[in-house]
Every structure is written in C-alpha cells, then in structure tokens.
Amino acid sequence: MKVGVERTLTRDEGETNARPLKFLHVTKSGGSAIEAYGRRHGLSWGRFFKGLSGPLLPPHTGRLKSEPHHIPPKFFEESPYKDFDVFIVLRDPSKRAISEFRCPWKGFKAPARTVQARDARKGATKRDLNSWLLAKARRGCLAAPFRNGHLIPYSEYLLDDRGELTIPRERILRFDHLDEDFRRLCRDRCLPVEALPCVNASEMPSFRIEDLDEEVAHALRRAYEKDYALFESLS
C-alpha cells in the first residue's frame, strides 16, 4: 500500500519561502492546547481561523456537519489552507480512538448534561469503551462519508488522492513528544518557545491499548489501515 512517506522534504525545501503558519486540527491530538498557544500570541489557528469556509466535495456535500477546523483540506472544493504552511500532530490511531471515547463533546455519554450522564462517564469501564468503539465502527462512523469531524482517519488530512504526503515531515509533529516537537517548530518559525498549556482534562478513567478487545482492535486496524502505516513510518 502506498502512503507517500518515502520522500522527506529537507528544511530548505520546505521552509525557504515560508508562508504564514496554520494549524490543521485533527481531533484528540493536543489541538486545543495548540489553539490556546496561538490565541495567546495572536495567531488565528484551528477554531480561530476565520477563513475556514467554502463548499465541500462529494460525498461530503451536505453530509459533513462539523466545525470547519476539523475538516480535511481536500474535502473542500478549494482548500482554505492553500496559501499557508500547514502543521499537524500525528497520534497513535488506537490511543486516539480511546481518547475519542473520553471526548467531552462527542464521546461516551457526551455532552454530559445530566447527573446520570456525568456519573456514567466517571464510572466508564473497559466494556463501555469496547462497546462504544464497536458501535461506531459498525455504523460506518470511521469511513466516508463522515457526519462530523471526529474519528476521521489521519490519512484524509495527510495524503492526497495519489497517496502522497501533503505536509512536509518537519511540520508533522508527534503527540507522544508533542512539547519537544512543538518547541522545535516554534524555534524554526521564530515563534515564542514555551510549554503548551494543559487543557480539556477529563474526569473519566484512563484506558490503554491493552484494554481494547480483539474485535475492536481488528475493526480499528481495518478502518485506520493507512493511519497505522503513517504512524509507524513517521514516528
């Protein structure tokens, strides 16, 4: 399978004619912290990027009801990011799926507007985790056409229709050492270098990849095949 990771741009190739920097916010990958950093420094990143608009291409036209900052650029008829240097955060697909379960907006029993829902989230079990993810997979939420910006595969953001990377390697940050990678990006782009803030802390229990049962792990591997290949190649 071609995932377009065989060629890595050098810094000179990717940054010689640097354009304004924009953040492409894949859900559950530290994006809110990066947006908060940008907000403090007058950078309209993620949900603060006002230029995110425009009609979508089929099969997403009229179906994808999402915050525009979570929509992959290639889903738009004309990419809102075409005049910018884009950076993104890559996360282990299994860990990202677990984080989607814990999401306070689109996750398990979310948004929790009642005491019962809040208690259910606080007491969530491995069985809840696996049931929720399996239900999402069976309903087709992990494959196009998507109904919202959550659970969309990374490959939709990172690869073009030929399977080639659309973002140079030096602007693909890694969630497992995000602070280090983000500091490097800031130094490269002459931005203030500081630790990212902690945001969106959850009262839900934490879960590990080992908590996923075999059926769910297989469903994730099938749906996110390109994502796993990208993660393994770019880590």
Which tokens in the block code for residue 131? 């049931």
| Structure confidence at residue 17 (pLDDT) | 57
Paired strand residues for 21: 85
Q: Which residue spans within 139-228 are E strands per DSSP?
A: 172-174
Give pTM, 2 decimals.
0.88
Per-residue pLDDT of the chain (235 residues; tens, 9 = 90+): 444 433 333 333 334 457 999 999 999 999 999 999 999 999 999 999 988 888 999 998 887 877 899 999 999 999 999 999 999 999 999 999 999 999 999 999 999 999 999 999 999 999 999 999 999 999 999 999 998 899 999 999 999 989 999 999 999 999 999 999 999 999 999 999 998 987 766 789 999 999 999 999 999 999 999 999 999 999 8
List, edge to edge, every strand of the sheet that includes 172-174.
21-23, 85-90, 172-174
Every domain of the chain and the residues it spans: 11-234
**Contact by Cβ (8 Å): 65, 148:** yes
CATH number for the domain formed by residue range(s) 11-234: 3.40.50
